Structures are given as structure tokens and as C-alpha cells.
Amino acid sequence: MHGTEAPSAWVERWSHLVPAGGSVLDVACGHGRHLRWFAQRGHPVTGVDCSAEAIAAVAGLGRAIEADIENGPWPFAGESFDAVVVTNYLWRPLLPLMVASVAPGGVLIYETFAVGNETVGKPSRPDFLLQPGELLQAAAGLHVVAFEDGFANRPERFVQRIAAVRKRPRPSGLPERYALDATG
């Protein structure tokens, strides 16, 4: 069943940027593969999806909200999260709201399909494919730790991926250190 497979390797790789015990929002969470990943690591999780079946599947993991975020209001107005996770989902009008939902010191971990994917499978409609550099533009107010735009195998697909943090003011003036691997 879609959404029950292993977490995205991109999400796994950058999950160490989420502050310990920090809150996680999974947008278009499906059946909760990323909610499970973060809940098992001690993070309070919130998932949102338009599917009642998906929300029922994740209800025991944390806060689960059934909402049509493409046609209704953003259910998280005024809230922020230590991580906003999005995979295999694109609705351009929500990009600013998702980025704005990243708390100071928090991270946006995003991975979805890009132009070129129409040559290898679905999605193939331009509405669902990122243009070159589009995630970089969407996350312009954040500090980009990692970005990829290219072809991935297993399964074959064209993707863009970003891990970007919202910097906190540092009284010491020293730069924040964002580890490029989980060890440090």
C-alpha cells in the first residue's frame, strides 16, 4: 500500500537536523511512513492528508488532520514546526505556507518530482513537476544545507530535494553548525 514503504532516504539522511524532541509536520502524509520514522525517534508528529483512509491509518501516531489543503484553508495558520516534511507532493500555492511553518532552528525536508519525470513515468503533468531550481526559490528565506536536482534510480525518476533550516539569531555571533551527516 502506498505510504507504508520505508522512509525516503533523503528524509532519513537529513532527519538529524530536526532538534531533539522537535515537532514534525508531514504534509500529504499518506499512510505515515515519515510520521512513523519521526515518532519512533521521539518526535511529536502531525500529519495532514485529504484521504480519510490515510488519516485513519496514522491516527495513533500523533495528531492526524484530514483536510483538503488545496481547496480549503491551511489548517496550521499561526503554528510552526521544528520540521516540515514533504515528499512526492506539489501544490505550488502552498509552498510559501509550508516554508513559513518552519520554526526558528527548524528544517524543511522536501523531495518531489521534477521536469524530466514525464520521460520515465508519472507524474507527467507539468503542474506536478518542479521547474529547475524551483525548490531553491521557494526556500529562499531559509539556509540551504543540501539541494539536489536530477535523476534518481530505483525507481527511475527525476527529483528535486532540499534540506533547509530557518536560522535563529545567535547572540555569540558564531555561525550555527549544520552537520552534513548524522554523526556530526
Structure confidence by residue, pLDDT tens digits, 31-78: 999 999 999 999 999 999 999 999 999 999 999 999 999 999 999 999
Structure confidence by residue, pLDDT tens digits, 1-18: 455 688 999 999 999 999
Q: How far apart are CA 152 and CA 117, in angstroms?
A: 10
Q: φ, ψ for residue 71 (rounded to 5)?
A: -120, -10
- The residue assigned the cell 525518476 is 157
Structure confidence by residue, pLDDT tens digits, 72-126: 999 999 999 999 999 999 999 999 999 999 999 999 999 999 988 888 989 899 9
Q: How far apart are CA 157 and CA 106, in angstroms?
A: 28
Q: Which CATH class is domain 9-165?
A: alpha beta
Would you state the cell numbers that stand for residue 94, as one nine-digit string? 502552498
Q: How far apart are CA 44 and CA 66, in angstroms?
A: 18
